[in-house]
Amino acid sequence: MTSHMPPPPSSPRLYTFRRCPYAIRARLALLQAGRRFEAVEVSLRHKPASLLALSPKATVPVLHLPGGRVIEESWDIMRWALTEPDPQGWWARAQLPVNLDLLQRNDGDFKRHLDGWKYPQRQQSDGLTPQAHRDAAWEALLQPLESRLQHSPYLGGATACATDLAVMPFVRQYAAVDPDWFAAQSLPAVQSWLRDWLADPLFITCMQKSPGPEAAPAPES
């Protein structure tokens, strides 16, 4: 059976899943930029045919633009949302080498070890215990992140940038595996940074439940 590409939407349409950290970062960027979009909450067990036609890999987030363009990667969605223009420098500050390094660490070794700790039943036979994955994730990202945040409140310096939005959902997921253990660790800068983000109106708006394809309003600045 041939899948037919759905017609371009009248406004940007984001296929998303509320708890997915990749989808969270995409929604945060769209909201921060004040972009209007339709949020289509996807059931991971019953993915809509329109999503499968747009993106055979069928992983969220996927952004379908009115002109027909499809953006399948979260960082690319963030780039589209935050650039042209970028008057507040959210994207520009994310291009600092130290921030690009943190992003690479987050999306690479940290994510792999986070999955090994959070989902031990899914991990490959790499010989590591969940606790070993936990500690490896710490070394991959949390140590350098703590060092960075000890010198400034955000990864963008005095104000946040796209890297804050991109990394925070994964640190949130890490902290949630064992909240008591995380709270007892010597990570004062990371813990303060994460706590502030979780209370931020941008994040609260981002995590509101959506019944389906409806416009997601931009938060008040």
Q: Kindly report, residue by residue over 156-215, the tens digit of the pLDDT.
A: 999 999 999 999 999 999 999 999 999 999 999 999 999 999 999 999 999 998 755 433
Looking at the domain covering 90-201, what would its CATH class be? mainly alpha
| pLDDT at position 209 | 85
Global pTM reads 0.91
Tell me the domain boundaries of the chain: 13-89+204-216, 90-201
Q: How confident is the model at residue 5 (pLDDT cuts 50, 70, 90)?
A: confident
Looking at the domain covering 13-89+204-216, what would its CATH class be? alpha beta
Residue 41's DSSP bridge partners are: 16
Q: Kindly report, residue by residue over 13-64, the tens digit of the pLDDT.
A: 999 999 999 999 999 999 999 999 999 999 888 889 999 999 988 899 999 9
Taking CA atoms, 94 is separated from 24, 38, 50, 103, in Å, by 17, 26, 32, 9
| pLDDT at position 216 | 37
Cβ contact 54:64 at 8 Å:
yes
Topology alike, domains 13-89+204-216 and 90-201: no
Q: Kindly report, residue by residue over 127-139, the tens digit of the pLDDT.
A: 899 999 999 999 9
Quickly count helices (H) and strands (E) in the chain.
12, 5
Q: How confident is the model at residue 94 (pLDDT cuts 50, 70, 90)?
A: very high
For 98, the token pair is 């130290």
